[in-house]
Structure 1
Amino acid sequence: MGFGLAARFIAIGASALLALWLALIAFFYWTNGLSQTDTRLPATQLQAIVELVETAPPAQRPLVLKALESSMLSVSLSPPEVRPELGEDLSGEAEFSAYRDLLGARLLSVRLFAAPKGLVRPRVLQRTSRPLVFEVAMNDGEVMVIEARTPFIVTFYGLPAGMGAGIVGTLFALVAFLLLHREIRPLTRLANAVDAIDPSGEPAPLPVIRSTTPEIRALMRAFERLQNRLRVMTRSRMALIGGIQHDVRSFATRLRLRLERLPDPAERDRATADISDMIDLLDNALLTSRAGVGALEEEMLDLPELLRGEMADFRRGGQPVSLEATLPDGEVWIIGDRLALRRVIGNIVDNAVKYGGCAHVRLDADTHEVHLFIEDEGSGFSAKDGELLLEPFVRAEPSRARATGGAGLGLAVARTLIEALGGTIALGNGKRGGQVVLSLPRFTPL
């Protein structure tokens, strides 16, 4: 269950208001001078009960006794020889002097009601939680036994026991909520810092928390170590791929020079194509790795100008590629990596020519986005192929023959790069055949 910042503030405020309310109630009890003796049966009421029963006719006494019964009071008459066995007589203590003053020698005893067998109460609570039993001698020789129960326990500070529990519990809740807010707040700062971690760049500074729980400090140290390990691993991987790419290019150049000596032109062309595919595969791997760790370059690019240059290169290579004359008037600027964007366009146009016979390129732009449409004249894409072909090593042509296609990485690399540039790629069908739509955020000056 989530416990956000607003919920924590509400909980802190509610517990603080509850603590204030309980403090006001406690102040009310204190100012009224409530004590433990105030909750007992008053001495004057005890005297009035005795006089009422004595003045009642003998025939009416059972009715009077029944009228006096309540949840806090029980009155009965018994012969002198039949008296309950109770504990120590407390009538001589100072706190019962008011009863002695009014009843005199008629007050036979004041005792605590016997506790149920097996029930042990703390000594400090015995006089407050157990009923008091008053034994008063009547004029006719009988003994009146009055059992008075305390409605609620009053502490030594003049507060009901439940009030003290409520105040303590509320204060504990308030302190707990404050500590919870204090300990969770660094996690929010830590989450923001973790979002800013760039494995290919400089380490993101994590918040400095001097006083918090050991678990939070351990978590922050763990993130610090993780950030450093990611940075080292990323740089090592990039250096490894870059070194492999450089060495393979060197070997490929030597192989091409040696291939020129092959007497069979067909074999020479096939070997040269294999070497070009190998270099393209390495280029794709390096660009994809850079995109995966956010290491792509960022520069201002005029997309119409970039498209014109790319399409001119394709046409010079004899590719059936056309750039439709619907480019937006003026400049259309985006922020991105020139090499990555050229690789995306090259992969998609190459697929359109290879599988659809030709490529028709069109650029549209609105206020916030730029849309690049690359359409071929093939059979198009089915609904299932729209997502499947964007996965690595998936080809529209099911065979694995090199003569009928590549390794199935062109669209997957294009997807990785275009998403790293903040855009999207979608496969569908146009008026002529299959169509790939690239969408990129447009740069708009403030």
Structure 2
Amino acid sequence: MGFGLAARFIAIGASVLLALWVTMIALFYWTNDLSHTATRLPAEQLKAIATLIDTTPPTQRPLVLEALQSSMLAVSLLPSAASSNGATEMRDESDFASYRALLGARLLSIRFLDEPETVARPRLLQRAARPLSFQVTLTDGQVLLVEARTPFIVTFYGLPAGMGAGLVGTLFGAIAFFLLHREIRPLTRLAAAVDAMDPSGEPVPLPAIRASTPEIRALMRAFEHLQSRLRVMTRSRMALIGGIQHDVRSFATRLRLRLERLPDAAERERATADITDMIDLLDNALLTSRAGVGALEEEMLDLAEFLRGEMADYRRAGQPVVLEPFLFDAEAWMIGDRLALRRVIGNIVDNAVKYGRSARVSLTVDSHTLHVLIADEGPGFSAQDAEMLLEPFVRAEPSRARATGGAGLGLAVARTLIEAHGGSIRLGNARHGGLVELVLPRFTPV
């Protein structure tokens, strides 16, 4: 059974409790003057202190006692043995055998140091947290009192209590990292699968997750349903557009046959042009829809040979189109949709002829890309036009566009189809007019 978000919130709560525990230890330090705790003063050091005080003249002892004072050691002289107020005598315990061996009968007492009644210690720390006091008799009858302290809590295992907190925190961190990695890994594989989804192609198998959170499994099911719905919607959309295109073409053919009976040649020509524009609009819409869902055909094309054929068709139709000689000898291979590329070149060349009176087409090749340049003799493109004219249903200023008509889809369709091929389009200015540059990826054998 996978861990849900609730379980993770509980884990976070446990981490917060761990932090509170560490905070309580810090407060314990603060309320107890750095939390002086019991320690085992080495027997050799205790004997050396007693010998030093015993051999020091009485007039010099206060100075020696002052020199021995520290935050971990308090040394003083008593006229006689001090009472312990009920503290347990530990001199005869086995843990202190080394003290008895070195000091013998001089070792009077080993007890817990008396504490103020206001200090409240947890039960688990009542033994480990209290400092020890040693009483040793001197040769002149005075009693040496040595209180051993450390400024941190010491456990029964000889480790600071903070070490346990650090170990537990490290354990929690390792578990949290493992769980995080365990949950992110399926998401990474899911992201790769979603990125490979193609609404017009075969379904992409999503990664099989045996054990994960319910939320992750729900997310994967949602993506699987989404992929199925996208495929259905894409097929329905393409079928709808294809059906409309077929029917409209049938209607257009009938209208053209009826237009032949119009007595006015000018009216007949305008009506035929309107029908042609309507068919072009439908063709653009269909190609754009196919490009938007990745349904374009893919075949190996020699772009140089493709441009030669297209430009020859324009010249046979009497269009002022010139294909400049290629400055390279190698073939310009690419993978693309022939019909889509024909639509791109046709839209741009038609615009160049309409707005710029002629079209000069050239092709350059580098190691990874193919560059198709289409120049005209028109007024060119301003910086604002270069951005706007690539949007759907946007035409140039009235002085250029209204006289020639058009729906404002030519360049927008060209951009969509070029980007579907992994390329780009740029509008600029040549020496004597406007310039449209198409950049397409070149096929290079591995």
TM-score w.r.t. the length of structure 1 is: 0.79
Cα-Cα RMSD: 3.3
1:362 counterpart SS class: strand
Cα displacement string for residues 292-347 of structure 1 (whole angstroms, at most 9, x for unaligned residues): 11110001223333323323333343322233344755753322101101100110
Q: In the aligned structure 1, how far is the partner of 2:96 from the partner of 2:371?
A: 99
Residues 96 and 420 of structure 1: CA distance in aligned 2, closer, same or farther (over 3 Å): closer
After TM superposition, give the deviation of residue 166 of structure 1 in Å: 4.3
Q: In the aligned structure 1, how far is the partner of 2:46 from the partner of 2:332?
A: 100
Cα displacement string for residues 214-273 of structure 1 (whole angstroms, at most 9, x for unaligned residues): 443333333222222222222222222222222222222233333333333322322222
Q: Please tell me whether the aligned partners of residues 425 and 437 of structure 1 are also in contact (alpha carbons under 8 angstroms).
A: yes
Query: Which position in structure 1 is the counterpart of 2:9?
Result: none
1:129 counterpart SS class: coil
Residues 53 and 396 of structure 1: CA distance in aligned 2, closer, same or farther (over 3 Å): same
Moved more, 380-389 or 166-175: 166-175
Query: Which position in structure 1 is the counterpart of 2:196?
Result: 196
Q: In the aligned structure 1, how far is the partner of 2:421 from the partner of 2:54?
A: 102
Query: Which position in structure 1 is the counterpart of 2:113?
Result: 112
What amino acid does structure 1 have at the position aligned with 2:349?
A: V
Moved more, 303-312 or 130-139: 130-139
Q: Please tell me whether the aligned partners of residues 363 and 371 of structure 1 are also in contact (alpha carbons under 8 angstroms).
A: yes
Q: In the aligned structure 2, how far is the partner of 1:113 from the partner of 1:420?
A: 85
Query: Which position in structure 1 is the counterpart of 2:89?
Result: 90
Match runs of 1:334-413 below 5 Å: 334-398=334-398, 403-413=403-413
Residues 159 and 258 of structure 1: CA distance in aligned 2, closer, same or farther (over 3 Å): same
Q: In the aligned structure 1, how far is the partner of 2:444 from the partner of 2:355?
A: 36
After TM superposition, give the deviation of residue 435 of structure 1 in Å: 1.8
Structure 2 residue runs without a partner (length 5+): 1-36
What amino acid does structure 1 have at the position aligned with 2:298?
A: E
1:315 counterpart SS class: helix
Q: In the aligned structure 2, how far is the partner of 1:48 from the partner of 1:442?
A: 89
Query: Which position in structure 1 is the counterpart of 2:242?
Result: 242
Query: Which position in structure 2 is the counterpart of 1:298?
Result: 298
Residues 348 and 52 of structure 1: CA distance in aligned 2, closer, same or farther (over 3 Å): closer
Query: Which position in structure 2 is the counterpart of 1:261?
Result: 261
Moved more, 382-391 or 133-142: 133-142
After TM superposition, give the deviation of residue 151 of structure 1 in Å: 6.6
Query: Which position in structure 1 is the counterpart of 2:129?
Result: 129
Q: In the aligned structure 1, how far is the partner of 2:401 from the partner of 2:437?
A: 28
Q: In the aligned structure 1, how far is the partner of 2:445 from the partner of 2:51?
A: 99
After TM superposition, give the deviation of residue 155 of structure 1 in Å: 3.6
What amino acid does structure 2 have at the position aligned with 1:112?
A: L
Cα displacement string for residues 372-396 of structure 1 (whole angstroms, at most 9, x for unaligned residues): 2222111222233233322222222
- What percentage of aligned pairs have identical amino acids? 73
Q: In the aligned structure 2, how far is the partner of 1:330 from the partner of 1:90?
A: 102
Query: Which position in structure 2 is the counterpart of 1:208?
Result: 208
Q: In the aligned structure 2, how far is the partner of 1:434 from the partner of 1:44?
A: 99
Query: Which position in structure 1 is the counterpart of 2:16?
Result: none
Cα displacement string for residues 181-208 of structure 1 (whole angstroms, at most 9, x for unaligned residues): 3433333322222221111111112222
Query: Which position in structure 2 is the counterpart of 1:314?
Result: 314
Match runs of 1:24-63 below 5 Å: 39-43=39-43, 45-50=45-50, 52-54=52-54, 56-63=56-63
Query: Which position in structure 1 is the counterpart of 2:324?
Result: 324
Query: Which position in structure 2 is the counterpart of 1:30?
Result: none
Residues 86 and 313 of structure 1: CA distance in aligned 2, closer, same or farther (over 3 Å): farther
After TM superposition, give the deviation of residue 169 of structure 1 in Å: 4.0
Residues 79 and 339 of structure 1: CA distance in aligned 2, closer, same or farther (over 3 Å): same
What amino acid does structure 2 have at the position aligned with 1:113?
A: D
Residues 75 and 308 of structure 1: CA distance in aligned 2, closer, same or farther (over 3 Å): closer
Residues 85 and 395 of structure 1: CA distance in aligned 2, closer, same or farther (over 3 Å): same
Query: Which position in structure 1 is the counterpart of 2:34?
Result: none
Q: In the aligned structure 2, how far is the partner of 1:109 from the partner of 1:328?
A: 101
What amino acid does structure 2 have at the position aligned with 1:249?
A: R
Q: Please tell me whether the aligned partners of residues 107 and 137 of structure 1 are also in contact (alpha carbons under 8 angstroms).
A: yes
Q: Please tell me whether the aligned partners of residues 89 and 109 of structure 2 are also in contact (alpha carbons under 8 angstroms).
A: no
Cα displacement string for residues 40-90 of structure 1 (whole angstroms, at most 9, x for unaligned residues): 124454455445445544333322322332222112234569x68756233
What amino acid does structure 2 have at the position aligned with 1:74?
A: A
Residues 52 and 329 of structure 1: CA distance in aligned 2, closer, same or farther (over 3 Å): closer
Q: Please tell me whether the aligned partners of residues 347 and 411 of structure 1 are also in contact (alpha carbons under 8 angstroms).
A: yes
Residues 238 and 300 of structure 1: CA distance in aligned 2, closer, same or farther (over 3 Å): same
Q: In the aligned structure 1, how far is the partner of 2:434 from the partner of 2:428?
A: 6
Q: Please tell me whether the aligned partners of residues 72 and 150 of structure 1 are also in contact (alpha carbons under 8 angstroms).
A: yes
2:272 counterpart SS class: helix
Residues 47 and 399 of structure 1: CA distance in aligned 2, closer, same or farther (over 3 Å): same
Q: Please tell me whether the aligned partners of residues 113 and 147 of structure 2 are also in contact (alpha carbons under 8 angstroms).
A: no
Q: Please tell me whether the aligned partners of residues 88 and 112 of structure 2 are also in contact (alpha carbons under 8 angstroms).
A: yes
2:398 counterpart SS class: coil
After TM superposition, give the deviation of residue 154 of structure 1 in Å: 4.6
What amino acid does structure 1 have at the position aligned with 2:134?
A: F
Q: In the aligned structure 2, how far is the partner of 1:444 from the partner of 1:137?
A: 97
Q: Please tell me whether the aligned partners of residues 129 and 150 of structure 1 are also in contact (alpha carbons under 8 angstroms).
A: no
Query: Which position in structure 1 is the counterpart of 2:19?
Result: none
Query: Which position in structure 1 is the counterpart of 2:283?
Result: 283
2:426 counterpart SS class: strand
Cα displacement string for residues 377-433 of structure 1 (whole angstroms, at most 9, x for unaligned residues): 112222332333222222223379754331111111111111211222222222332
Whether 1:70 aligns to 2:73 is: no
Q: Please tell me whether the aligned partners of residues 326 and 363 of structure 1 are also in contact (alpha carbons under 8 angstroms).
A: yes
